[in-house]
Amino acid sequence: MATTLPEAFLARLRRLVPPERLPMVEAAFREPRITAFRVNTLKADRDTVQAALEAEGIRPRPVAWYADAFQVSPEARAALLASRPYRERWIYVQDLASMLPPLVLAPEPDARVLDLCAAPGSKTLQLACLMQGRGEIAAVEVVRPRFYRLKANVQAYGAPNVRLYLQDGTRVGRYRPEYFDYVLVDAPCSSEGRFHLSDPGTFAYWSPRKIREMARKQYRLLVSAVRSLRPGGVLVYATCTMAPEENEAVLDRLLRTFEGMLSVEPVELPLSNQLPGLESWDGRPFHPALRLARRILPTAEMEGFFLCRLRKQRSIA
């Protein structure tokens, strides 16, 4: 087990996290993390799942802000993964922070939804549940092994309204211009919010250079997302990193590219571990509306995340 995270990362962390919150965040990278799951309402309901788990001696704790979500202690994780609800695909094990983007997107059941970076399918399947298996979800993934994992999950968990596309997400805007009512960009990132000392692989490849590479890819995905979104539609951008270059800076560039065409909307979350978006980083000021974005600090209950909700005000055709 590694004993410390990269010093360059820790130096950045101290600039990003208020001093009074820093011990909580540092502990989150070190202490065992609670296991969360949500009910796959395409196959089962909460009462059935709870009864089945309790029959096996597992007593999940409900999550106050999401009726279909539950938690178990780190010690109960193995039993959960051996349980009937897990084997039958009645539940999907998913970090609580990862459940936030679909909830913030909040698609209507009969809508057209684009999940632009869909593998392995956790949020795709959550969207299918929120939409009650109705409407249309286009799930896009460019990496072939990840696409087949996505396909296997969609089939196993029974999402009838998902269509799968092995495709480069940066091109979707050309093929489906202004077609979708909602777009989710849960972008590939440097994954800082998922770092944990028990798994050095989570941070083995972290570097400032990787952050810059990810930011370039994220911007191209966002441009494609904006082009694919109908006027009046909603776009949610999410990452599991704390790097401003991959969050506020990418969105600041997007807002300036599509000036007057996009607005940032408030994100209301009942969480104590959230901060507003940054006003600036390394002397670079960001668009003031990005204060409405939300930074989710890592805790023992959830990974670190970033969320921003935007609305397309008018056509860019």
Are residues 90 and 40 in contact, defined by beta-carbon separation less than 8 angstroms?
Answer: yes
Is there a catalytic annotation at residue 240?
yes
Query: Is residue 266 exposed (0-12), middle (13-18) or buried (19+ Cβ within 10 Å)?
Result: exposed
Distance, in Å, from the CA atom of 317 to the CA atom of 314, rounded to the nearest integer, reads 9
The one-letter amino acid at 180: F
Three-state secondary-structure class, residue 115: strand
H helix or E strand, kind and range, residue 140: strand 136-141
Q: Which residues contact 84 (CB under 8 A, 6 or more apart)?
A: 52, 56, 90
Q: Residue 41: which of 80, 92, 107 has the closest Cα? A: 92
For the CA atoms of 227, 133, 135, 180, the dihedral, rounded to the nearest 10 degrees, stands at: -10
Q: Residue 230: which of 111, 101, 126 has the closest Cα? A: 111
The one-letter amino acid at 135: G
Looking at residue 34, the DSSP 8-state letter turns out to be P
Neighbours of 177 (CB within 10 A): 15
Q: Which of 117, 189, 240, 308 is catalytic?
A: 240
Three-state secondary-structure class, residue 264: strand
Which active-site residues does the annotation give? Answer: 240
